[in-house]
Amino acid sequence: MTQYQAAIFDIGGVLTHSPVTRIKQFCIDHRIPDEVRWAIFAPEDGPWSRFERSELSREAFADEFDQHVRPSGTDATGPFFMEWFFKGFGERTEVVNAVRFLRGKVKLGAITNNVVRDEPAATRTSGIDVQSLFDVVVESAIEGVRKPEPRIYQIACERLSIEPSRAVFLDDLGANLKGARALGMHTIKVDDTLSALDELEAALGIALPR
């Protein structure tokens, strides 16, 4: 019998196609150099990380985006990027169906680094109605803390009433998995294949639909 009582999922890159990959392509398409993209999206104190903690408003992030990209001569602006980003990245139907199948079988949670706490819930979570899928949804924009900071995983486990060692956590980014693993969670890396569902099935001892 499995030791795991809960499955906790990232949203972007797990339930949807990867926003990281799409942002990289956006920057290529609009001639934004890699070092500028990194300065905006990578550092913990950078504009995107602060946006995900609700330390910047949508307008303030757009302004900082413009300040970073302007020297590169790109045609992209902060408001244009925001409009593009909030169109979403498309649902990964097989993963969403697996979550639906697991309802009532294990506790279900989601942890997402997202943005704009004052936007409608579906806008914050890439157009997916996560509240109907999960027992607990923990959002960086609401909590003011983001993956891979330990506190965000602890919040999810506390609200699910489980110890971290009793949870399986799925994410597409290695740094986020490392943060969860440090607390004792069993981690599964999600890629473009369905191998993560095979690993989840083995961990939970529950056959999942394909």
What's the pLDDT tens digit per position in 77-115?
Answer: 999 999 999 888 888 999 999 999 999 999 999 999 988
**DSSP annotation of 134:** -
Please indicate, yes or no, whether residues 12 and 32 belong to a single structural domain of this protein: no
* 23 lies in some domain: yes
* 1 lies in some domain: no
Q: pLDDT by residue (tens digit) across 39-75?
A: 999 999 999 999 999 999 999 999 999 999 999 999 9
Paired tokens of 119: 């936007």
Please indicate, yes or no, whether residues 105 and 167 belong to a single structural domain of this protein: yes
User: Among residues 210, 204, 209, 206, which one has the least CA distance to residue 5?
Assistant: 204
Q: For the chain, what is the domain count?
A: 2
Average pLDDT along the chain: 93
Q: What is the CATH number of the domain that holds 188?
A: 3.40.50.1000
Please indicate, yes or no, whether residues 123 and 27 belong to a single structural domain of this protein: no
Return the residue matching tokens 């936007």.
119
Burial of 160 (0-12, 13-18, 19+ CB in 10 A): buried
> How many CB atoms are closer than 10 A to CB 66?
16
* 100 lies in some domain: yes
Please indicate, yes or no, whether residues 12 and 115 belong to a single structural domain of this protein: yes
Please indicate, yes or no, whether residues 146 and 192 belong to a single structural domain of this protein: yes
* 196 lies in some domain: yes
Please indicate, yes or no, whether residues 13 and 68 belong to a single structural domain of this protein: no
Domain that holds residue 122: 6-18+90-204
* 138 lies in some domain: yes
Q: pLDDT by residue (tens digit) across 141-182?
A: 999 999 999 999 999 999 999 999 999 999 999 999 999 999
- Pick the last residue of a domain from 57, 85, 113: 85
| Residue 126: pLDDT over 70 | no
Q: What is the CATH number of the domain that holds 55?
A: 1.10.150
pLDDT at 119: 62
| Residue 127: pLDDT over 90 | no
Please indicate, yes or no, whether residues 144 and 158 belong to a single structural domain of this protein: yes
Please indicate, yes or no, whether residues 114 and 137 belong to a single structural domain of this protein: yes
User: Among residues 70, 65, 53, which one has the least CA distance to residue 116?
Assistant: 53
Paired tokens of 132: 């109907």
Helix/strand/coil (H, E, C) string of the chain?
CCCCCEEEECCCCCCECCHHHHHHHHHHHCCCCHHHHHHHHCCCCCHHHHHHCCCCCHHHHHHHHHHHHHHHCCCCCHHHHHHHHCCCCCECHHHHHHHHHHECCEEEEEEECCCCCCCCHHHHCCCCCHHHHCCEEEEHHHHCCCCCCHHHHHHHHHHHCCCHHHEEEEECCHHHHHHHHHCCCEEEECCCCCHHHHHHHHHHCCCCCC
* 210 lies in some domain: no
Please indicate, yes or no, whether residues 196 and 173 belong to a single structural domain of this protein: yes
Please indicate, yes or no, whether residues 161 and 100 belong to a single structural domain of this protein: yes
Please indicate, yes or no, whether residues 51 and 94 belong to a single structural domain of this protein: no
